[in-house]
Chain A
């Protein structure tokens, strides 16, 4: 079946228009757009921001337009907080999005396969999913991060996070698939002579994809949070700036108790706003997909 590009684009724009009616979607989208713009601005940061002591140390914020570098003050290492923040935001977003691209799609694939297959294939996939679900996630990540410490970069950390990220989504996709496969439409499609792959692609996948979209966004939140949790233990990429390592270094230099609030506050504010923004988007999508909740949206 050829893909009708015009139909796809009109349906996407109608969904977007329906979503924009929700106040919470508009707020969430605005926050995320601001955050993405800030992370794009990180491309303009001067290379000197990475070097220690290239600026005076422990300077409080100064609100003047001539010196943007000192807008949010400097750290104890003499680095401008504003450039660290926007670079950290960009790196954390990359980690989140790449993990979601890898982990949630593995989950989708394994869950679908497990839901539509029968016999020993089904048992094997269920065993695999359940054993990954039952291993505690953060300790496993700590073990992985410790043993792979030498090769962790912004681009390999998402691979490690994906080892954990796929199991719960796979379990959920499996149960959604099972409930769809027991519906009458599947039998009807089978009796009408549609082949198995056709049934999976055209009857099952559309139902799962809506859930997959919200899960994709939730996986971004989860991955950014996990990176920060790893950083608290000093197991993230400490040589790069991410939101987690920024909090780690600020805590390490006791910024909280020495009164250097301008070092501690930016990563916390950025993390909370990106989480709230993404969560508002994902919950309004979930609301749009569940017609029973729609009337309660505004």
Chain B
């Protein structure tokens, strides 16, 4: 067999096994939650003032349990869920019965992906450019200032920064509103609808986006690319190229930036793989409608179909990005890995 095909099969098998184990762990943990969606539903019926006999109550509870697939032995339930996992259909949501969980997740998905895709890519580019730039102009005042800002900004816990942003930009200078954003049903019939949706999105997403970009561009991406490029600059081949009189722009682009990019692209791919679990703290603090807050809601209520579909989506995101890195990117881009096998 061709070595690449062998490698591909090998990695795919490992990825599928990892997927199954991760799904099983999250399934087991979710079933341990004390919250019961059925009891929450019955309580809301009782709140409406409906008078129910205890027998009727128990019969209703039984019907709901059967409807949701919560009866039968744990093994039967497990097998039923495993079937649903492979068909990617987790059945009706509990809290918005009978809407399928998949539809609800699909409604929140563009919000999260839109926000996190943009912020991850923007902060990756900004942080890397700044980091590489600072390592070239070291010992200058500007680079010192940037570095010290990053060292103080990076360890600041995210929610503290976002609370400060809310306090400043929604309370002291009310540019953004404090009220929670509800998900509008995106129905696009005319151009004004498109404009409305875009304006709505920008208004809701800019404050969370700013908070994410500040922390991750100035923090992790900046510091890591700075460390990487400083250790590349002191590498023998770069010193030799400098002595040989290689043009400074070429030296920076081809000699330093390129080798810094290999680990940074890896980290970007892994970061993009994690966006499907949403940004829980961001969404919670900014009241932003996204997969993270939906997941939190469903865990609190005990809505397994939604929780499991988001969890398996995000597990798949991470595993698929690791798989692509392991097979396509490393094997095609990095010749050392190709020949080592």
Contact = CB atoms under 8 A, between A and B. Distances in A.
B281 A229 contact: yes
B155 A275 contact: yes
Contact of B311 (A24, A127, A136): A136
Contact of A225 (B34, B157, B318): B157
Contacts of B256: none
A293 B231 contact: yes
Interface in B310-328: 311, 314-315, 318-319, 322
Using C-beta atoms within 8 Å of the partner chain, give the interface range for chain A: 35 or more
B230 interface: yes
Interface stretch (A41-49, A77-85, A278-286): A278-286
B42 to A, nearest CB: 20
B151 interface: yes
Interface in B113-141: 138
Nearest to A147: B32
B156 A144 contact: no
A135 B157 contact: no
A136 B281 contact: no
B167 interface: yes
Contact of B25 (A135, A146, A232, A247): A135
A251 B319 CA distance: 37
A139 B295 contact: yes
Contact of B151 (A146, A232, A268, A276): A276
A279 B155 contact: yes
Contacts of B314: 136
B155 A134 contact: no
Nearest to B314: A136
Contact of B285 (A132, A232, A293): A232
Contacts of B18: 127, 130-131, 134
B57 interface: no
Contacts of B163: 251, 256
Contacts of A139: 277, 280, 292, 295-296, 299, 311
B138 A229 contact: no
A233 to B, nearest CB: 7
A205 interface: no
B157 A144 contact: no
Interface string B150-175: 01101111011001000100010000
A135 B299 CA distance: 15
A296 interface: yes
Nearest to A292: B231
B227 interface: yes
A140 B281 contact: no
Contact of A228 (B25, B34, B159, B274): B159
Nearest to B277: A136
A143 B29 contact: yes
Contacts of B159: 228-229, 232, 247
A232 B152 contact: no
B154 A142 contact: no
A228 B157 contact: yes
Contacts of B34: 146-147, 149
B108 interface: no
Interface in A137-168: 138-140, 142-144, 146-147, 149
B197 interface: no
Nearest to B135: A296
Contacts of B155: 221, 272, 275-276, 278-279
A275 B292 CA distance: 25
Contact of A144 (B29, B152, B311): B29
B227 to A, nearest CB: 7
A134 B281 contact: no
B264 interface: no
B296 A142 contact: yes
Nearest to A294: B234
B275 to A, nearest CB: 10
A140 B160 CA distance: 22
Contacts of B14: 123, 126-127, 130
Contacts of A296: 138, 230
B65 interface: no
Nearest to B157: A225
A271 interface: yes
A278 B151 CA distance: 11
A251 to B, nearest CB: 8
Contacts of A228: 157, 159
A135 B311 contact: yes
Contacts of A192: none
A257 interface: yes
A128 interface: yes
Interface in B156-202: 156-157, 159-160, 163, 167, 171
Contacts of B32: 143, 147
A233 B230 CA distance: 40
A136 B310 CA distance: 10
A36 interface: no
13 contacts: A127-B17, A130-B22, A135-B26, A135-B315, A139-B311, A143-B29, A143-B33, A143-B299, A144-B29, A147-B34, A228-B159, A233-B284, A272-B155
Interface of B: 14, 17-19, 21-22, 25-26, 29-30, 32-35, 138, 151-152, 154-157, 159-160, 163, 167, 171, 227, 230-231, 234-235, 274, 277, 280-281, 284-285, 292, 295-296, 299-300, 311, 314-315, 318-319, 322
Given A142-B299, A146-B34, A256-B163, 14 more contacts: A130-B22, A134-B319, A135-B22, A135-B311, A135-B315, A136-B314, A136-B315, A143-B29, A146-B299, A147-B33, A229-B159, A232-B159, A279-B155, A283-B151
5 nearest interchain CB pairs?
Answer: A275-B155, A136-B277, A131-B21, A131-B22, A134-B318
